[in-house]
């Protein structure tokens, strides 16, 4: 899951779901490593997966996009 999936023949919904799941796992692992005082098992040099698209991005009056905070996901 840590590899870039844009070279494969996946539809956009599958790519988005794959990226969401991967980055959720990585985020959880980083928080666990921080909580337990151990190094992370993920190295940024080993990951080339893209971040998922932010479909709920908020646009300001200036036209600048701000990241959304998605509280509940349904996979």
Tokens of 13: 């919904």
Residue 17 lies in a domain: yes
pLDDT tier, 48 (very low <50, low <70, confident <90, very high otherwise):
confident
Tokens of 68: 């959304």
pLDDT tier, 38 (very low <50, low <70, confident <90, very high otherwise):
very high
Q: Decide if pLDDT at 35 tops 90.
A: yes
Residue 42 lies in a domain: yes
Residue 44 lies in a domain: yes
Residue 20 lies in a domain: yes
Is the pTM value of this prediction over 0.75?
Answer: no
Residue 72 lies in a domain: no
Q: What is the reported pLDDT for 70?
A: 59
The number of domains in the chain is 1
**Residue 33 falls in which region: left (phi positive, over 0), alpha (psi -120 to 50) or beta:** alpha
Q: What angle do CA 7, 24, 60 make, to 5 degrees?
A: 85
Task: Return all residues near 58 (Cβ < 8 A) that are at least 6 apart.
Answer: 65, 66, 67, 68
- Domain region containing 52: 12-66
Residue 7 lies in a domain: no
Residue 1 lies in a domain: no
């Amino acid at each position: 899951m840590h590899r870039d999936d844009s070279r494969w023949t996946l539809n956009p919904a599958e790519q988005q779901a794959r990226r969401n799941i991967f980055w959720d796992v990585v985020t959880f692992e980083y928080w666990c490593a921080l909580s337990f005082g151990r190094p992370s098992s993920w190295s940024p040099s080993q990951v080339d997966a893209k971040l998922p698209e932010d479909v709920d991005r908020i646009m300001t009056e200036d036209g600048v996009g701000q990241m959304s905070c998605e509280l509940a996901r349904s996979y």
